[in-house]
Structure 1
Amino acid sequence: MNTTANAGTRCIVLDTETTGLDPTQGHRVVELACVEIENRAITGRHLHLYLNPDRDSDPEALAVHGLTTEFLSNHPHFEEVAHQLLDFVKDAEVIIHNAAFDTRFLTAELARCGLPAFDTLCAKVTDSLLHAREMHPGKRNSLDALCERYGISNAHRTLHGALLDSELLADVWLAMTRGQDALLMDFAEEGGPGGPGLTVGKVDTSTLRVIHATDEDLAAHAAYLDALDKASGKPCVWREISPDEAKAG
């Protein structure tokens, strides 16, 4: 698997909040956010929309996002702002955590507007959850878990919000796709073969650059050993190691 994103690709990290779990049961999108990444840098350009779903959120969904029916009633309906979303994601790779969930809702919303499925209106859709599961099999790969794994602060995340979650996922995505596959150590929730809580990544020796010492380097090293001998009054341990033993060490 190639984990290095194309440096020239424009990516959009997207997240939604909804009134419930199933659009076929009439549930709707209530919040939508997109964060732009270009040339592997977060540009600061984003789209953030609250949407009037014309219905209440399920209690479980409301507990997650905290967006009340009264608050949302003052915002536009999806069909009024659908063009803003389509303009923002056009020709871009869209990155979504658990993409199947969000794309089902977005496709249902677009269908109400007489428009085709969401994944046909952007360059491609990439599921960052599936990507994380391939990179970290058997581990927790929720957004919170990934933030912890990659050292990204999410202390301010008390409720789920589409914009905050998109910003966090953008940071996670860049960290997760930086391409550092060699000499990788992952301090995970569960123990790995390298010891408790430690998994040592596979080393691709073809990517390691070998730098040989120059004559000047060797002369400087010999002078340093001479100084050690003089300071200790006896040959230093390094001189007692054969070249073959030194290479093995």
Structure 2
Amino acid sequence: MNWKARLLLLDGLMPSLGDDGRLAWGTLADAAEDAELVFLGLDRSDGGEKPCFAAVPGEGDASPRMANPQLWSLMATMEPGDLALYGGARSITDWHARHRFCAQCGAPTSIAKGGWQRGCESCGAQHFPRTDPVTIMLVEHDGKLMLGRGKGWPEGRFSALAGFVEPGETIEEAVAREVFEESGIRVHDVSYISSQPWPFPSQLMIGCHSHALNTDLTIDETEMAEIIWYSREEVTAALDGDGPFVAPPPHAIAHQLMHWWISR
């Protein structure tokens, strides 16, 4: 053991916060004797180089983030650096917890390369953490923005539409398909704005903007509870906390995309 090494303290996949609201850290002695450890990087904040690790939990969690209101609330209080570090640690340790067996032959796998790979001793297959691309898109028409409330979401909470990129698709094609499937709206002039990793369980949110050809909605009621067109003034008021809907929290890319839209 390296006495300088630090262990990110997690409760399963939940973050542990100290009295100061920051991520809590321990030493490698805090890890279970048989724990698999993932190398997160080096902490150079005090001029030294302290290796940082996280332990793989006994179980993973592939449920959507709305299924855990406590985690959602904790994330809203975390400062950006801690939020980014926790998101990366959650994604990689969750992947390990859910990939203990080889997808090729079914034999047990073991951690390798500091936690950034799993290897199968039976057939020799190498498995690497995956990231799933998801488009999240603003849809605009004549100065209004189309926002939706997904099935199971709290009343009044709206966000940008989103969906996974399917095999063989470009980002632009994924935006057009997802918007049409969920709203019945055809879009054009799709452009990229920004991206954000999203650890539920391990996605890359690709923020885009598009223009709608019309406003006549045909809502996919199996996925969406509501879809509404909002004016610039309504979106601005919602981001200020006093609008006709509850906006996504600041740490979500949808919030930043809305700010980008109203500032254009």
TM-score, normalised to structure 1, is: 0.21
| Structure showing greater Rg | 1
Structure richer in strand, relative to its length:
2
TM-score, normalised to structure 2, is: 0.20
Structure richer in helix, relative to its length:
1
